[in-house]
Structure formats: structure tokens, C-alpha cells
């Protein structure tokens, strides 16, 4: 039995958090584009960010804030402009954004963290932001997670949200999260943003360590198109409002909390991979028998990111040769005669040798898996790349529990790891070919 249960509420499910999302006029479409998450009290803050040498102003801002003080009260996110590669003026815009919000919330600017998403090279529309912040603060609610989740997306077709609850020291502890991401997804910490809230009390260094490990097993294990973003940010707050004893070192309670944090991050990561631009299904690559977990994840992510593998999955073609080739170029040593490959329940390759299999049935498995993971159909895409958004009605979270399973064994080692990706369809090129024109 799981040590936690899924609940509603997203980032406002944990105690002591409010959130909001509004339309401030940052997107040409007139859809929601400004989001805010606020803790009632000062919270322990941790973050994992893009390793790209070309970074958005918000990334540098958050890194500096967290290095100076691992605490925060609020996360402000704008959608529509990435504020990346915008020079010194972009840096000033980021600073002004924090100052404007701090004044409205009556807190210190040092207690605010920032995130941005949108077209690289475009500054935040500051006039719209200045007018939007008072409205955003006024809209804060203990049930505002869904509006915040809707205000951070760009080319996403669906919002991404999750909340889990467990018991620590006989008291309920909750972790909630929202995320956005659909294209430019190959995190190395994708455009990917994720915000996590928790009401446990955790020491700063331990919370950062937990988040970094969770990121490696979730967001750093997904790929859509192999392109790492300038704005990738994963920010997590823990405010202690559950009134449980502080967790300061690893032990049973810390392990339970980290496992739940990882589960939240993995759910959001898989939701991003499934919502990959133009994708029709989610892929889960499971690798066993490697030297260690890191090696297993490297093989898994290489397979999930292979354009040839992704194209074959889109064509419902059980082409195991592409899987074998991707595993072989992952940079992880293994003996070819130890390689086994399965697609769902179909064993295609064993001990370095191809096996006869029912190709039609394997293709049917791919078709059925895609049919089981279909995205909700109650949306209408604008197909206007300048809008960076979709016109949506009521869109539930997409299903991430029926992926195409690719299982690969490379030997007798104890290392096991997973990665998630999506197929590569004709529509990916359509979406990205004229992105800014």
C-alpha cells in the first residue's frame, strides 16, 4: 500500500499557501499569463535551474537570492516573454518585478523568487506587469492553484498539477505541485517550469538535497526534443505549517518525505513528456542491469531522446534495432551479448540475439497504448505561434498511467533507472518551424 494518497488542491493543498493566476496582457491572445504562489509565513526555499550558459534573468536572480538566503515567501511567474538574452535591461526588469510585488505584499524583495517563460530575446512587458500585480495579489486564494497552473503555460495543451498527503509524527503532511512544459524539453539541471509547495519543516540543506535528487529522478529524466531551455526552473518551498517536528537529517521520516517529493516531481515530469509538442503518446524507458542508477538513467534517457526511436513509436513500428542502437551510443559500457529488449510484453531481443515475434501484435500494442493515453479533447488550439498559448475550456490533467513501455536490460549490475519521453510526430515540425514568424 502506498505511503501517501493523492488529494486535490495542487500547490494550495499544503497548509499556509495561496495562489492566483490572471490575465495581465502579457500574451497577445488575452489568455492568463501571470501567476503567483505565496506562503503565509517564511518558507525554506530550494531550487534547481538550467545549466545552460545562456540563462534568463530570473534564473540568475533566483540563484543569487537562494545563495544569500534559502528562504522565500512568494514565487512570481510571467508567461509570454522569457526575458532571456535580454541583457542588462532584462536584469533590471527582473529586479523591478520583485520590488513591485514586494511593495504590494508588504514583504522584502529578498523573499521573492521569479520565473519567466515565453520567446527568448523578448523582455517582459513591464507596463502590463505593473498594472497586473495589484490585481494578481487581490486574486490570491487558498484554492487558487488551478488558476496559477493555467497562467504559466505557453504551448501546453493541458495544465499539470498534483498533490499528495502522508502522515509524519501523527500529523498530515502535504506536498503539491504545478508545472508547465511542452517543447524545448531536455532538462539539464526543458521550456520547463515547476513549482512545489510543502507544509513540513525541513532544514535548508536537507530540503535542497532532497529536491536535487528528486529532480535527477524526474525532470532530468525526461526529454521531448533534446533542446535544453534557457529558463528551466524547479523551485520548492517548505513552510512548516503542518506543525510536525523539524526534519534535519536523513532517517525514516526524511526518506518518506523525499519519496513523496519525488513522486510529485515524477508525476509532473511525465505530464510534461506526454504533452510534448505534437506528441500522441508517452514513452517510459526502463533500464536494469547497469553498473549504477546514473548509468541506467543515462541509457534510458538516450533511448527516450532518440529521434529514430521516437519516430518509430509514432509510426507504431516495433523497430527494436533503433532501441539497441540508442542504448549502444549512450556512453555507458556494457556487453552486447547481455542486451535484452522488451516492448510491452513482447520480448524482441535477448542475450544479444534477435527473436521471432508477432510484429502485427506488437504494433497493435503501440496503437492501444497511444489510445489509452490520449489527451483531453475539450480544447481548441489557436495555431498562432505568436500567442504561445491555447484557447482551452475546462481541461483536466492528462493521463500519465498508460505509457508505451520499453524495457532494456544490459547486464547483471544493480543499477536501475527510468526516463520518459514522447513520440515524434509531423506536428512537432509544424508547431516549431515558424515559431516566431
191 is catalytic: yes
Rg (Cα) of the chain, in Å, rounded?
21
Q: Which of 390, 344, 337 is nearest to 159 (CA)?
A: 390
Q: CA-CA distance, 70 to 228, in Å (whole number)?
A: 26
Which residue in the block uniquely carries the three cell numbers 486535490?
8
Integer CA distances (angstroms), 361 to 357, 366, 367, in order? 9, 9, 10
What 3-state class would DSSP assign to 75?
A: strand
Residue corresponding to grid cell 505530464: 271
Element spanning 392, H or E: strand 391-392
d(CA 175, CA 12): 9
How far is residue 205's CA from residue 198's CA, in Å, rounded to a whole number?
A: 15
Cell numbers placing 206: 536537507
Residue 132 sits at φ, ψ, to 5 deg, of: -85, -30
- What sign does the dihedral 76-81-85-87 (CA atoms) show? negative
Distance, CA of 100 to CA of 106 (rounded, Å): 10
**Inter-residue contact 400 to 271 (CB < 8 Å):** yes
Distance CA 179, CA 382 (A): 21
CA 37 to chain centre: 17
Mode of pairing for the β-strands spanning 340-343 and 404-409: antiparallel
Are 208 and 171 in contact, with CB atoms under 8 Å apart?
no
For residue 326, the Cα-to-chain-centroid distance in whole angstroms is 24
- Could you say which of 191, 197, 262, 302 is catalytic? 191
Residues annotated as catalytic are 191
Amino acid at each position: 500500500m502506498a505511503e501517501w494518497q493523492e488529494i486535490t488542491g495542487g500547490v494550495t493543498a499544503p497548509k499556509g499557501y495561496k495562489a492566483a493566476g490572471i490575465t495581465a496582457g502579457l500574451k497577445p491572445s488575452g489568455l492568463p499569463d501571470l501567476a503567483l504562489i505565496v506562503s503565509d509565513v517564511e518558507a525554506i526555499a530550494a531550487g534547481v535551474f538550467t545549466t545552460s550558459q545562456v540563462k534568463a534573468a530570473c534564473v540568475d536572480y533566483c540563484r543569487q537570492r537562494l545563495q544569500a538566503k534559502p528562504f522565500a515567501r512568494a514565487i512570481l511567474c510571467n508567461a509570454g516573454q522569457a526575458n532571456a538574452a535580454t541583457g542588462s535591461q532584462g536584469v533590471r526588469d527582473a529586479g523591478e518585478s520583485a520590488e513591485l510585488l514586494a511593495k504590494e505584499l508588504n514583504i522584502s524583495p529578498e523573499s521573492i523568487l521569479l520565473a519567466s517563460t515565453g520567446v527568448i530575446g523578448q523582455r517582459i512587458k513591464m507596463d502590463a506587469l505593473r498594472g497586473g500585480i495589484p490585481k494578481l495579489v487581490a486574486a490570491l486564494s487558498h484554492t487558487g492553484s488551478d488558476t496559477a497552473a493555467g497562467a504559466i503555460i505557453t504551448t501546453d495543451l493541458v495544465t499539470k498539477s498534483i498533490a499528495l498527503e502522508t502522515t509524519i509524527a501523527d500529523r498530515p503532511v502535504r506536498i503539491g505541485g504545478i508545472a508547465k512544459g511542452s517543447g524545448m524539453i531536455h532538462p539539464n539541471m526543458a521550456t520547463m517550469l515547476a513549482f512545489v509547495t510543502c507544509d513540513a519543516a525541513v532544514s535548508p540543506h536537507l530540503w535542497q538535497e532532497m529536491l536535487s535528487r528528486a529532480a535527477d529522478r524526474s525532470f532530468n529524466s525526461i526529454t521531448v526534443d533534446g533542446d535544453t531551455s534557457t529558463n528551466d526552473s524547479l523551485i520548492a518551498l517548505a513552510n512548516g505549517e503542518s506543525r510536525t517536528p523539524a526534519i534535519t537529517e536523513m532517517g525514516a521520516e526524511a526518506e518518506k518525505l523525499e519519496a513523496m517529493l519525488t513522486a510529485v516531481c515524477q508525476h509532473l515530469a511525465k505530464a510534461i513528456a506526454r504533452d510534448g509538442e505534437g506528441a500522441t503518446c508517452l514513452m517510459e524507458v526502463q533500464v536494469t542491469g547497469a553498473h549504477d542508477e546514473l548509468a541506467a538513467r543515462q541509457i534510458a534517457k538516450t533511448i527516450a531522446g532518440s529521434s529514430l526511436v521516437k519516430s518509430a513509436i509514432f509510426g507504431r513500428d516495433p523497430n527494436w534495432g533503433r532501441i539497441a542502437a540508442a542504448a549502444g551510443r549512450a556512453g555507458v559500457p556494457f556487453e552486447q551479448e547481455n542486451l535484452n529488449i522488451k516492448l510491452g510484453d513482447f520480448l524482441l531481443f535477448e542475450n544479444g540475439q534477435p527473436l521471432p515475434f508477432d510484429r502485427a501484435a506488437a504494433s497493435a500494442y503501440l496503437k492501444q497504448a497511444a489510445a489509452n493515453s490520449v489527451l483531453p479533447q475539450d480544447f481548441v488550439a489557436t495555431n498562432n505561434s505568436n500567442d504561445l498559448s491555447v484557447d482551452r475550456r475546462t481541461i483536466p490533467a492528462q493521463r500519465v498511467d498508460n505509457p508505451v513501455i520499453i524495457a532494456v536490460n544490459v547486464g547483471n549490475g544493480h543499477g536501475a533507472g527510468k526516463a520518459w519521453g514522447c513520440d515524434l510526430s509531423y506536428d512537432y515540425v509544424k508547431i516549431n518551424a515558424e515559431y516566431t514568424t
